[in-house]
Structure 1
Amino acid sequence: MAETAERAIVRRRNGATVIDMPAHIDISTEATLDTAYSELAPKGALLLNFTATEYINSSGIALIVGMLARARKEGRAVAAYGLSDHYREIFEVTRLADFIGLFPNEQAAVAGH
């Protein structure tokens, strides 16, 4: 897997923390996502940007669920955007969408958090 596929970039936008998710989300990105989560602002919503994400396997879904659980425990709202139709459907079927607001783009996610 290319190094760029494992990167997760953390940035701030209007009081929320955005994590630009890696291209591939699987067990090999666990440390990357843990590091990204540790860089969150002390307060505020967590926005997960899946625009560059091409692949998520069951281990990747488990990592996302883990991030969601940590965020909920801290009282953070969680939203996601940029999911392909395929992964949006998976989030809906697995009921992740019941706990993570799904938005079409960053502007809508920032406004909706």
Structure 2
Amino acid sequence: MPVQPFAASVRHQPPSTGIIDLRGEINAAAEARLSAAYTEAEGRNPPTIVLNFGDVSYINSTGIALIVGLLARARKAKRRLLVFGLSPHYQEIFQITRLADFMTVFQDETSALAGSK
């Protein structure tokens, strides 16, 4: 299976949510782009940022650590971090690592946006 390079793009859902669409593999190589996307998403100072994992093919332990870093940034700014689009495998990983205790996991974008209000 070929490596899928990481990519991230940011959208804003008025009035108060930034959405980061993630693609490819979240590993050490993703750090700079993931951080830049988060900085862009928080630029409008939304109370909620949503991470879309729908097109993520792989997350390794370093990738989990990067997500924990985003959670720390969000908590420091008193911002909610929500996620959707996790495969069943990564939903289980978020449960095992207790990430799901600190960021709400939704099945799809519609429910995540409803949960961001």
1:54 is displaced (CA, Å) by 0.6
Name the TM-score, length of structure 1 as normaliser.
0.94
1:112 is displaced (CA, Å) by 0.4
Letter in 2 for 1:84: S
Structure 2: gaps (5+ residues): none
Name the TM-score, length of structure 2 as normaliser.
0.91
Aligned to 1:46: 49
Secondary structure of residue in 1 paired with 2:54: coil
Aligned to 1:88: 91
Q: Between Structure 1 and Structure 2, how many residues are aligned? A: 111
1:65 is displaced (CA, Å) by 0.2
Structure 1: gaps (5+ residues): none
Secondary structure of residue in 2 paired with 1:30: helix
Aligned to 1:97: 100
Query: Which is richer in strand?
Result: 2
Spell out the pairing of 1:16-27 with structure 2 (5 A cutoff): 16-27=17-28
> How far apart are the structure 2 equivalents of 1:83 and 1:106?
11
1:22 is displaced (CA, Å) by 2.4
Once superposed, what is the RMSD of the aligned Cα atoms?
1.0
> How far apart are the structure 1 equivalents of 2:88 and 2:73?
26
Cα displacement string for residues 32-71 of structure 1 (whole angstroms, at most 9, x for unaligned residues): 0111011022122010000000100000000000000001
Aligned to 1:11: 11
Aligned to 1:107: 110
